[in-house]
Copies of this chain bind each other. A is one copy, B any other.
Amino acid sequence: MADLAREIGFSKAYIYRFFESKQAIGEAICSSCLAKIVAEARASIDVSGSSAEHFRRLFRTITTLSVELFFQDRKLYDIAAHSAAEGWGSAMSYRQTLREMLEEIVRRGRESGEFERKTPLDETCRAIFYAMSPFVDPLQLERNLDLLPDGQAELTSLILRSLAP
């Protein structure tokens, strides 16, 4: 709190006029970071291309931006990791939004015949989300930084092979 107050030039008491608690401030900071990732992820799939390319872009964007936002600033990472571990609203709705984007890509890929259709859509999307977690979840990403970028590219290819018709 002292760091934050110094950084933005307000007193701690003044900051607390806008937020109920330290957690509320953490939530606001976290939401703002996650919103940036979501916006970039959205932009990365709102361009023409195959569903495989959309998936590649989505996954790479999430990882690249998470690394940029969370690991250039240790404090931001601590907030994000705490948020993920405690299941804060901001972390939950972030995951939900990413899942919806993933489902959109898989559904379109199925409609165009690019992806298989035998597995139930929700099962496929859940399983892909589990598989992606080493490079999406900030807690895991921190321990997997040395696997980038190759590890993520290899995992992307595995997921795309699993989607083949």
Contact = CB atoms under 8 A, between A and B. Distances in A.
A133 interface: yes
Mostly, the A contact residues are: helix
Copies of this chain in the oligomer: 2
Contacts of A123: 154, 157
The bracket for how many chain A residues form the interface is 20 to 34
Contact of A157 (B119, B133, B151): B119
28 contacts: A116-B161, A119-B157, A119-B161, A126-B151, A126-B154, A127-B151, A127-B154, A127-B155, A127-B157, A127-B158, A128-B158, A130-B131, A130-B134, A130-B135, A130-B144, A130-B147, A130-B158, A131-B134, A131-B158, A131-B159, A133-B133, A133-B134, A133-B140, A134-B134, A158-B162, A159-B162, A161-B161, A161-B163
